Structure 1
Amino acid sequence: MPKLTKRLVDSMPPEPKERIHWDDDLKGFGVRVYPTGRKVYVVQFRANGRTRRKNLGQHEVLTTEEARRDAKLVQADVARGADPSADRKARLRSPTVAELGERFLTDYAALHCKPQTQYDYRHLVEKVINPILGQIKVTEINFEDVTHFHLKRKDTPYQANRGLSVLSKMMNLAEDWGLRDKGTNPTKRIKKYHEVEKKRYLSEDEQERLGNSLGDLLQSGHISQHVFAAFYLLLLTGCRLGEIQKLKWDYVTQTHLELPDSKTGRRRIPLPREARMLLDNLERREGNPHVILGVHPDGYHQSLQKNWRKIRKHAGLPDVRIHDLRHTYASVAVMNGIDPFMLKEILGHKNLSTTLRYAHLSDDAVQKAAGRIAGKLFKTLERI
């Protein structure tokens, strides 16, 4: 067969069986003619000891010279050790980002993460990552795709940043699982958005309003004794919501709450006298091990967030979150001279920097401290 040209390929008639016509000028380059008359350019090469073929494109969609140029590029890649046919098969077998996310949740998060973390990861995968990136192949996702994803979420910077972090974990695991080449994580070098830290705690006046609201709502029957106790315990112990909401009587001693597992592992939380009195007055339910009971005979109270919205509205505290009660505990502790290292142990933090982020001092306390410093300096200056 002489050198393939457009005229020559146009003149090739279909035969009962498909046939490849090879080019004499470029070894391995040819055109496959099907019985239907369809003609497709191919390139043949040897990779990993096997002869392989790769389709380059259909005649007339691709010119003969364009196909010849592409054939040379494939052969050059093969000479450098690549296997274009295997690469294409790998791309076809590659899972989508959504499929990788599901494997991440079942094969990684379910084995190594606490239930709340698993819940958070699933929300980020299904509600934040998948709507934008879910249908892209894991082998195909690139820096531009991730940049687009992060930009689309710019109006919710916290979600954008958490989604980026989870996506980065997924891509690292994709490399470990052989689904991507090593060192190709496309989330690298993407700058996270600035997040404004929420510094909210209750002033003494707000604490009093909250206490009055809890008492009023309990007396009027709008909240139960267990809901009342839950929010008092959060304030009196500095615990996280889940630690009180899921608390069991087996964990309660005369002086401590002995939690076998928490966000930071096993915890031993001091139980103040006032908190102990609250617990002593709580109704128990036979066969139910939980302290904070709900309407169902089994399990714990499931709707504390709903109750909190009712409580904070009654107290005139619309911007206060449940977690801000923990902030309040830390702030009161610091303002009353509790050593940060001791507070770190009480709150169950792994490092001191986390404790110091929680321990926000009130403006009044800062103003008074600044006034004392300035007054002392002024008196010294007057004597000079």
Structure 2
Amino acid sequence: MAQGRISKRSVDALVCPSGKDRIFLWDDALAGFGVAAFPTGKKVYVAQFRKDGRSRRIAIGDHGRLTPDEARSQAKMVLGSVETGADPIAERKATREVRTFRAVADDFLNLHITPKRKSRTAAEYRRLLDLHLLPAVGSKRILDVRRADLSMLHARMVDTPRAANHCLALASAIWNWASRRDEVTSADNPAKGIERYPEQGRERFLTTEELSRLGIALAEGETIGLTYEIDETKPKAKHAANVENRRVKLDPFAVAAIRLLILTGARLREILDAQWAHIDFERGIIFLPDSKTGRKPVYLSAAAQLILASLPRIEGNPHIIAGAKEGAPRADLKKPWAAVCRAAGLEGVRLHDLRHSFASFGAGASLGLPIIGKLLGHTQPATTARYAHLDLDPLRRAVNTIGATIAAAMHGGNDGKRVAIVKFKKR
């Protein structure tokens, strides 16, 4: 076993003899510090120590990438940690076993989200991961993901603030899930402390006049049809029908679905996926076995029940809003809703705004937020609280009370009682 001062000259001169797989040169000044030379010409600095009665050896780095002095400094740290009871080999192995953010995120989806959340939630999380998070930090070990990485991603998504905030929330959820499995520490969550973008509320409430235009457009759509436009510059435009004959009727199931959405405040998929077997006509309720918030009753007004009574049942299709495919519900309402909005002049109104409008009329009638939340299927009172400012009657009562008290005081009354005012004759 060769010994001597490990220096650049001595390491450069070290050559592995023919027939051997390696040769060592051990430093005579720092016990346990050495360099190994291989037949390929590769030379690696090592540190050797005893742990639990066994001789152990750990590689420090390649000669060329490290100078002898740099390797000696690292060897001192390794050998010093052994003296304090550490096991550098076990620590290195544990470090190598730390999984990437991508691996942890995949397990988060497969083991936590898919079996416990709605399929649409899992699909949205997968979309955010594939489009944004994984390209940015997917290849990093999860312990190496820093706040700076997520801050840069968040900054790049400034044009889509809502998606940017959702990415931060998802990264935080993945980290917290990993912390519950002892892979990371929750206190080191890199998504903490990053200021989110302000998000503009997207709630839109239809007025009574807008609802009237909506009703007229739906009536025209199912009777004489709605007008449509074509590009007169296209070659086939000359073969199109005359302007006065350019009308198309809406699918009666699509019209019924839109009316049910505004009359029940239900979500789109709750109406499209509902089946005839779910309806209790005697009690006026659609009992949905599953929804965004689990099992849910959708309460039917007399107007909603009339719509259901007018719909035909398609043999072999259990769904109320039958689709084109046999036995399947209608896929969506994008095209008929766009046509209705054009005809009614409802620019920028989404189907989900019908749900907001249902709640706004309930709040305006002072039905109370708990009742409105029950009708909408909200599980948290805070979700319904967004409609509190629409409850006008309590505000009217409050302002009338305050106004009467102030007016009485100004007129010299006591205890809120109004006193007579004496008018003086003009001279």
Q: Check whether TM > 0.5.
A: yes
Distance 1:19 1:243, change over 3 A: same
Could you tell me how far 1:150 is from its partner in structure 2?
2.3
Could you tell me how far 1:234 is from its partner in structure 2?
0.9
Query: Pick from 4, 9, 12: which aligns with 2:11?
Result: 9
Amino acid corresponding to residue 261 of structure 2 in structure 1: L
Could you tell me how far 1:359 is from its partner in structure 2?
5.0
Could you tell me how far 1:225 is from its partner in structure 2?
0.9
Moved more, 212-221 or 323-332: 212-221
Could you tell me how far 1:8 is from its partner in structure 2?
1.4
Distance 1:372 1:244, change over 3 A: same
Does residue 380 (structure 1) correspond to residue 408 (structure 2)? The answer is yes
C-alpha contact 1:331 1:359 (8 A) present in aligned 2 = no
Moved more, 202-211 or 374-383: 374-383
Partner of 1:351 in structure 2? 380
User: C-alpha distance in 2, partners of 1:240/1:369?
Assistant: 33
Partner of 2:319 in structure 1? 290
Could you tell me how far 1:369 is from its partner in structure 2?
8.0
Amino acid corresponding to residue 58 of structure 1 in structure 2: D
Partner of 2:32 in structure 1? 28
Partner of 2:43 in structure 1? 39
Q: Secondary structure at the match of 2:143?
A: coil
Amino acid corresponding to residue 248 of structure 1 in structure 2: Q
Partner of 1:18 in structure 2? 22
Could you tell me how far 1:48 is from its partner in structure 2?
6.8
Greater C-alpha Rg:
2
User: C-alpha distance in 2, partners of 1:198/1:349?
Assistant: 18
User: C-alpha distance in 2, partners of 1:47/1:123?
Assistant: 48
- State the Cα deviation string for residues 247-271 of structure 1 (Å, max 9, x = none): 1111111111111222222222221
User: C-alpha distance in 2, partners of 1:114/1:203?
Assistant: 33
Amino acid corresponding to residue 106 of structure 2 in structure 1: E
Does residue 160 (structure 1) correspond to residue 187 (structure 2)? The answer is no
Could you tell me how far 1:191 is from its partner in structure 2?
2.9
C-alpha contact 1:95 1:138 (8 A) present in aligned 2 = yes
User: C-alpha distance in 2, partners of 1:290/1:48?
Assistant: 70
- State the Cα deviation string for residues 8-57 of structure 1 (Å, max 9, x = none): 11221232321222222222211110112221212234557765433222
Partner of 2:309 in structure 1? 280
- State the Cα deviation string for residues 47-70 of structure 1 (Å, max 9, x = none): 577654332222233111111011
Amino acid corresponding to residue 137 of structure 1 in structure 2: R
Does residue 131 (structure 1) correspond to residue 135 (structure 2)? The answer is yes
User: C-alpha distance in 2, partners of 1:48/1:171?
Assistant: 36
Matches within 5 A, 1:1-384: 1-16=3-18, 17-46=21-50, 51-180=55-184, 183-219=187-223, 220=225, 221-254=248-281, 255-359=284-388, 361=390, 376=404, 379-380=407-408, 383-384=411-412
Could you tell me how far 1:313 is from its partner in structure 2?
2.9
- State the Cα deviation string for residues 122-144 of structure 1 (Å, max 9, x = none): 22222232222222222322222
RMSD of Structure 2 on Structure 1 (CA): 2.7
Distance 1:261 1:96, change over 3 A: same
Normalization by structure 2: what TM-score?
Answer: 0.81
Q: Secondary structure at the match of 1:297?
A: coil
Deviant stretches of 4+, over 6 Å: 364-371
* 5+ long unaligned stretches in structure 1: none
User: C-alpha distance in 2, partners of 1:304/1:341?
Assistant: 30
User: C-alpha distance in 2, partners of 1:282/1:113?
Assistant: 33
Distance 1:359 1:240, change over 3 A: farther
Normalization by structure 1: what TM-score?
Answer: 0.89
Partner of 2:416 in structure 1? none
Distance 1:20 1:212, change over 3 A: farther
- State the Cα deviation string for residues 158-190 of structure 1 (Å, max 9, x = none): 212222122122112223334335643322333
User: C-alpha distance in 2, partners of 1:306/1:101?
Assistant: 36
* 5+ long unaligned stretches in structure 2: 226-247, 413-427
Moved more, 268-277 or 117-126: 117-126
User: C-alpha distance in 2, partners of 1:15/1:297?
Assistant: 79
